[in-house]
Amino acid sequence: MSKDTPPSSISRRDFVRTGATAGLGATALAVAKDPVAAESQQQAWDMTADVVIAGAGVSGLSAAVEARDRGASVIIVEQNSDCGGHGIVSGGRVNLGGGTSRQRRQGVEDSADAVFEYWIRPDDLESRFTDRDLTRVFADLSAETFEWMVANGVRFEDEVAGEDSRNGRTLQWPVYEELITSEPTRRGSGLVRALEKSARAKGAQILLQHSMAELVQDPGSKRVLGLVATTQGRRVRIRATGGVILATGGHTSNVQFRRMFDPRLTEEYQVAGEPYSKQTADGEIAAMKLGAAVWGTASQSMEAGNWISKTAHIGCQWGYSSLHWQPDSPIFDKIRASGLTNVNWQNCILVKQTGVRFHNEMDGGHDFFAACFAWSGDPNKLNGGGPIWAIFDADAVARQEWDPRPPNVDPDGWFFSADTLSELAGRIRNPYQTLRMQGSTLQQTVSRYNSFVDSGTDGDFGKPTPQYKIQRPPFYAAWSTPILHDTLCGLRVDTRCRVIDLQGQAIAGLYCCGEAMGGFPQHGLGRCSLFGRVAARSAAASA
Amino acid sequence: MVVTRHTPSLRTHAGLPAEMEAGATASVEVRLTCADGCDLRGAVIELTTPQGEHGTCEVGWVEDPREGAQGANARFVVTAPASTGEAEWTVRFPTQSVSGVPHEEHALVLESTVVPHATSMAIWDVPSPLQGTEFAVRVGVKCATCCVLAGQVVQVLDEAGVVVGEGRLGAAPLAGTDALYETLVALRAPERPGMGSRRVICVPGDLALPHHGSSGTFTFRSLPPPEHTVTVRIVPEGTEASMADIEVRLGDYRAHTDLNGVARVGVPRGSHELSAWRVDIEPISSRLDVSGDAAVEVVAVPRRVVDEDAERWG
């Protein structure tokens, strides 16, 4: 069980508010003794709410709904022009179980204890490094959060997925709500839009295109009083009487930040979910300026989990397997290309920016990623592995039934073609290509690979029975550099989602949830919503 | 009365590349200034090419926001000579009066190395020939600046450097390419089975402009003749798709399925890896020991779409 005080218990702030109900005089007395009120009187605020939330993704919207349910006024600032964050462009996977009504109806036995034990397994890398205090909270609130989602209008597919849909493995998919891209349907939109609708209906105020610029902390008490947001060049100071909740998403788009956990993750690695929204680490950075600790970093650097993927769609900037952008996407002008998909890696070789092969193309595990990250030979770029290019020929195009033209490919730096391999190498230009690929090198690489096709054995990297030569013009080079995805560590929080500093003390008035929070590195949106609710309960109780 | 001449100065603003391919053109821009601050617009600048030809250009005016400055300038387009080696262009401000003020001569020499055109090669349609039989490969050669290479000779050399095949590039570029001229070169497989390697060279000659040669290598595996026929039937499971025209491989021996999903592959006795793949089905792979004519059925299932969001449970 949690060793912290449960959020439902009466806090000091509840006591003050209870006292204030006695009458006006009592209220004035309470305000005078209330450090938040006293400190805030020294500040000039443009807006005030009990709970101020940075980020209108799944965790922020969940926090907003929960806070409103508890009577707190809510303002959300969202830097994007629409709600949703990464959640709206996600597959919508919701790992919540522990004995939901749906599980019971389908005869699936599950319990909070089973969920807990599943997510702390020592024999599994993804659960080995979890913070067990947070895992216990997740387990205890898992079923309840599922019912809460349903009560707030989230519709789920009528299935409980998974080969063994219990013991914490339960996965449930929301019903798709709106077009993000038609294939595959992005079910995260169903979760986001339902929560947004509920939050708005309950009175949460959502300020779009408002970026959190900084947190405002009282210099004396160190309590977080609110935040400053910027919009159209204007600064807006927003007071939070109960607390600020950081629901800003993760950090994978921030190269400097992500390299704290793995120096190899240099700038060439793109991020799934971009360019709809970026995982900029602004919540983490703002809190760290106040002394917040980062937590659960082993989860970010472990060689497991969904923090990186082999590209499934090549020749475009963003090739995450489960996010195949189609021209019908309302943001396709930013995406620019869908990519060539259904890749059978027997049809391609993968080369570094120098034009040399480096690994068995059929592999997609962490040995493959490590080989991608290995030094490319650029003396001026020792970290990161540089771009990875898939090289193939006209025969491969025919076998794959590809059409290597826009909008399937992006010739503006992510896809190239030429009549000969030597010319192809010379044409490759990309913002992350730090070396010129030499035509002779690529030609030698392909000749050697073709000899492996003849011999039936890959003498360099053990690709199982290389099947097809790369020989018929024209030849192609398609961006195939691994793509980053999940943020699996973040700010340290306690079981009430209070942000904890390096001395192990809570930073008063500051809460965190979602991908900005460390300690529970689950892939998907279940944890985002659940801990958003926990943060909201705590902040609302302090208002 | 002593006439004082002003001293102009020429400098390169956008110069020549260090190397130019023969016959290639490049833009040059020079800036002209007078130490006494004269406006030199309307002056004449001469250009002398490496071949000794002369041309003139009138000085104009440019405002360059990058430099935050104004100045007189002249732009030329120069063409590299057909012969390779060091080449010099002389830009000269001849003695002349500008706005009634006499100016001295000044000259600037621009240098570049003229190099042959680069060419590159592709070799394709390389089969796995039966031992001791005729086979052919296609060779294409491309000039980096898309010169016509029709009629150029391509030679194929064996491991000992002996020419074993020859062809002439065709009259028109291969369809679907920018300027890849191709030819078919007939060859003969070694009498013994095994891996072979050949080198292909093309040294273009008799062209208006000089070209570098290009080369490539290809490998092949000469095979023993088939002894038996393996009839492979691909049976669809969970799909209504036709199983026609799927390439079935037994090691290096190949055939395509007919409308009934049947392929007949001739193979020698021994153990062979049976494989087949098409974009809409999962790869098929199994090991087959062949000691006589045989018939096998393999199941083709629809391609599995990987959704990583759904795949990961932990």
Mean pLDDT, 10 residues at a time, chain A of 543 residues: 37 32 34 54 86 98 98 98 94 91 87 93 91 98 97 87 58 84 85 98 98 96 97 97 97 97 97 94 98 96 89 96 91 96 96 98 96 96 98 97 98 98 98 97 98 96 96 98 95 98 98 97 94 98 93
Write down the ipTM of this complex: 0.88
Do A66 and A540 form a contact (C-beta atoms < 8 A)? yes
State the pLDDT at residue B107. Answer: 93
State the pLDDT at residue A536. Answer: 98
Walk me through the domains of chain B, giving residue ranges and CATH numbers.
8-115 (2.60.40.10), 119-222 (2.60.40.10), 228-300 (2.60.40.1120)
CB contacts < 8 A (A, B): 123
At A230, list the tokens. 């910027």
State the pLDDT at residue B48. Answer: 94
State the pLDDT at residue B195. Answer: 96
Residue A214: CB atoms within 10 A of its CB come to 16
Question: Which residues in chain B have Cβ-Cβ distances shorter than 8 Å to A302?
Answer: none
Q: Are the beta carbons of A454 and B142 separated by less than 8 Å?
A: no
State the pLDDT at residue A269. Answer: 98
Question: Which residues in chain B have Cβ-Cβ distances shorter than 8 Å to A401?
Answer: 279
Shortest distance, CA B226 to any CA of chain A (angstroms):
17
Residue B226: CB atoms within 10 A of its CB come to 16
Question: Which residues in chain A have Cβ-Cβ distances shorter than 8 Å to B143?
Answer: none
Mutate to test the interface with B, among A405, A416, A420 (most CBs of B within 10 A): A420
Question: Which residues in chain B have Cβ-Cβ distances shorter than 8 Å to A484?
Answer: none
Q: Report which residue type is found at B173.
A: P
Nearest by CB to B218, from A127, A321, A450: name it.
Answer: A450
Residue B197: CB atoms within 10 A of its CB come to 14
pTM: 0.89
At B123, list the tokens. 């070799």
Long-range pairs for A322-326: beta carbons < 8 A, 24 or more residues apart: A322/A91, A322/A184, A322/A272, A322/B307, A322/B308, A322/B309, A322/B310, A323/A89, A323/A91, A323/A181, A323/A186, A323/A272, A323/A273, A324/A181, A324/A183, A324/A184, A325/A181, A326/A181, A326/A182, A326/A183
State the pLDDT at residue B2. Answer: 65
Choose among A531, A491, A526, A537: nearest CA to A87.
A526
- B-side interface with A, Cβ within 8 Å? 120-126, 128, 140, 142, 144, 174, 176-180, 195, 197, 214, 216-221, 249, 251-252, 273, 275, 277-279, 283, 303, 305-310, 312-314
Q: Quickly list DSSP for A221-289.
A: T--EEEEEEEETTEEEEEEEEEEEEE----STT-HHHHTTT-TT--TT--BTTTTTS----HHHHHHHH
Q: Are the beta carbons of A471 and B218 separated by less than 8 Å?
A: yes
Walk me through the domains of chain A, giving residue ranges and CATH numbers.
39-307+488-543 (3.50.50.60), 308-484 (3.90.700.10)
Residues of chain B short of pLDDT 70, as ranges, are 1-3, 61-70, 308, 310-314
Nearest by CB to B124, from A447, A473, A524: name it.
Answer: A473
